[in-house]
Structure 1
Amino acid sequence: MMPQPTGRLVRKDDGVYLVFDRMFKAPIEHVWPYFGRSPRLAEWLGEYTGSGATGAVKLRMTADGTEGPWEDVTVMECAAPHRLHADIGAAGASHRMFAHLTEASGHTTVTVGLRLRSLLEEADAGPRWDYYLDRLVAAHDHKPQPDWSNYQPAMDEHYRILCRELDRDLRSDAAAARSGASR
């Protein structure tokens, strides 16, 4: 079965986020290590060095089978096992990310968000993050990792449409605000 796109766009005070949810039939203590411990994180996303307690970490993405460059990570908030907020990348080109974990009735829901710097230029983040989070599910459930070729280009148009529609809505809202202010 081909994976389906699951991301949605959410407006927040500091910008537009691409947001995804995944549910695990496991207590939160079994899911959190996939965000906070290098061996578990490496199973689905990449490896890191440094300490979240100091707020300074380096991350290297390895999910695509190659070793990418080490990227700076500034941990803004880490409230284990519930919340992680970080900026990933060089200053001025970083991405704000969050992971929120909640548990109810023995199930843990993971919500991951990525703030988009540009709606029209970053629509390709959707397929990547669907892929990464499906890798997280597979790692947690001890299943085979998904195949990247099932995500891109298959999901590209879905995310481009989402981004174009929200961009159009934001432009319309701004135009309406300008015309209301000029009265």
Structure 2
Amino acid sequence: MMPQPTGRLVRKDDGVYLVLDRMFKAPIEQVWTYFSRSPRLAEWLGEYTGSGTTGAVKLRLTADGTEGEWEDVTVLECAAPHRLHADVRESGQSHRMFAHLTEATGLTTVTVGRRLRSLVEEADAGPRWDYYLDRLVAAHDHKPEPDWSSYGPAMRDHYRDLCRELDRVLRSDAAAARSGAAG
């Protein structure tokens, strides 16, 4: 069975975020280790050095089978085991990320968000984050890793359509605000 796109776009005060959820039948503290311990993070996303308590970390993505460049990460908020907010700087640009974890009735829900710098240019973040989070589920459940080829091409149009539609709405809202201010 092919994986299905699960992300949604959410407008916040500081921009538009791609937001995705995954659920785990596990205590929140156990799931949190996949974000807070480098060996666990390496099972699904990449490795890090440094300390979140100092706010300075370096991250290298390895989920695509290659070792990426080390990226600077500024931890803005870390409230274990519930909230992690960070700015990730790659190739001279940064983007805001968050992970929120909640636990109820034996289930832990992970909500991950990534602020998009451009709806038009960053629609491809959707398939990547569906893939990364399915790798997280596979790591946690001790299952085989998903195959990237089931994500990128298959999901790209879905996320591009979401981004184009929201871009149209935002442009329409901005035009309406300009014409309202002029009248």
TM-score calculated relative to the size of structure 1: 0.98
- Specify the alignment match of 1:141 in structure 2: 141
Q: What amino acid is aligned across from residue 135 of structure 1 in structure 2?
A: R
Where structure 1 has 5 or more consecutive residues not aligned to the other structure, the ranges are none
- Specify the alignment match of 1:81 in structure 2: 81
- Specify the alignment match of 1:5 in structure 2: 5
How far apart, CA to CA, are the structure 2 residues paired with 1:55 and 1:62?
22
Secondary structure of 1:94's counterpart equals strand
Q: What amino acid is aligned across from residue 75 of structure 2 in structure 1?
A: V
- Specify the alignment match of 1:98 in structure 2: 98
| 1:178 has 2:178 as partner | yes
How far apart, CA to CA, are the structure 2 residues paired with 1:63 and 1:143?
15
Q: What amino acid is aligned across from residue 11 of structure 2 in structure 1?
A: R
Secondary structure of 1:64's counterpart equals coil
Give 4+ residue runs of structure 1 displaced > 3 Å after superposition: none
**Shift of residue 122, structure 1, vs aligned partner:** 0.2
Query: CA-to-partner distance for each residue in 1:109-157, whole Å, 9 max, x for gaps?
Result: 0000000000000000000000000000000000000000000111000
**Shift of residue 95, structure 1, vs aligned partner:** 1.0
How far apart, CA to CA, are the structure 2 residues paired with 1:102 and 1:13?
23
Q: What amino acid is aligned across from residue 145 of structure 2 in structure 1?
A: Q
- Specify the alignment match of 1:131 in structure 2: 131
Query: CA-to-partner distance for each residue in 1:2-29, whole Å, 9 max, x for gaps?
Result: 0000000000000000000000011101
Where structure 2 has 5 or more consecutive residues not aligned to the other structure, the ranges are none
Query: CA-to-partner distance for each residue in 1:51-97, whole Å, 9 max, x for gaps?
Result: 00000000000001110000000000000000000001159611100
How far apart, CA to CA, are the structure 2 residues paired with 1:7 and 1:120?
16
Secondary structure of 1:109's counterpart equals strand
Taking only aligned residues, the RMSD between alpha carbons, in angstroms, comes to 0.9
TM-score calculated relative to the size of structure 2: 0.98
Identity over aligned pairs, percent: 86
How far apart, CA to CA, are the structure 2 residues paired with 1:92 and 1:80?
29
- Specify the alignment match of 2:154 in structure 1: 154
Q: What amino acid is aligned across from residue 115 of structure 2 in structure 1?
A: R
Number of corresponding residues:
183
Secondary structure of 2:154's counterpart equals coil
